[in-house]
């Protein structure tokens, strides 16, 4: 089987090795195991989201629609802020995070559109 970068991951890697008690290190590693699972899930979720937005990007390019839809973004942000509050997550962080993702999506949409229109801009590597 081909070795992937995930196979090289050392879950016990730490700058704290040898500096803290074994008990504390064991507890830290146990919590980090959950963090690693959550981070992996985030990567898969983001990959799925970008697959979906790529379809939107092609649809928009084919129909000559602008990459950004500010009205949609306002609704999305208001919704995510409400969800964040319910989940006891800082709504300002949720908004910043969504804006960060959306700005990357818009960059991808722009690259798809430029490509579709015969340009050679390929900022998003698409």
Ligand X SMILES: O=C(O)C(=O)C[C@]1(C(=O)O)C=C[C@@H](O)C=C1
Compute the CA torsion angle 63, 50, 99, 69 (nearest 10 deg). Answer: 10
Give the shortest CB-112-to-ligand X separation in angstroms.
11
Footprint (CB under 6 A) of ligand X, residues 23-42: none
Does 61 participate in binding ligand X (rule CB under 6 A)?
no
- Residue of the chain from 61, 84, 94, 105 that contacts ligand X (CB under 6 A): 105
Does 126 participate in binding ligand X (rule CB under 6 A)?
no
Burial (CB < 10 A; 0-12, 13-18, 19+), residue 91, is middle
* Distances in whole angstroms, Cα of residue 61 to Cα of each of 5, 33, 64, 83: 35, 42, 5, 31
Does 80 participate in binding ligand X (rule CB under 6 A)?
no
CA-CA-CA-CA torsion sign (47, 100, 84, 57): negative
Does 79 participate in binding ligand X (rule CB under 6 A)?
no
- Catalog residues that contact ligand X under the rule CB under 6 A: 53, 56, 68-69, 72-73, 76, 102, 105-106, 109
């Amino acid at each position: 089987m081909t070795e992937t970068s995930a196979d090289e991951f050392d879950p016990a890697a730490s700058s704290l090795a040898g500096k803290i008690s074994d008990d504390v290190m064991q507890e830290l590693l146990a919590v980090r195991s959950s963090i690693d699972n959550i981070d992996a899930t985030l990567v898969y979720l983001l990959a799925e989201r970008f697959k979906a937005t790529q379809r939107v990007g092609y649809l928009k390019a084919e129909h000559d629609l602008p990459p950004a839809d500010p009205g949609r973004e306002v609704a999305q942000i208001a919704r995510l802020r409400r969800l964040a509050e319910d989940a006891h997550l800082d709504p300002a962080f949720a908004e910043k995070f969504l804006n960060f993702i959306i700005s990357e999506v818009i960059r991808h949409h722009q690259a798809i559109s430029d490509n579709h229109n015969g340009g050679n801009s390929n900022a998003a590597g698409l």
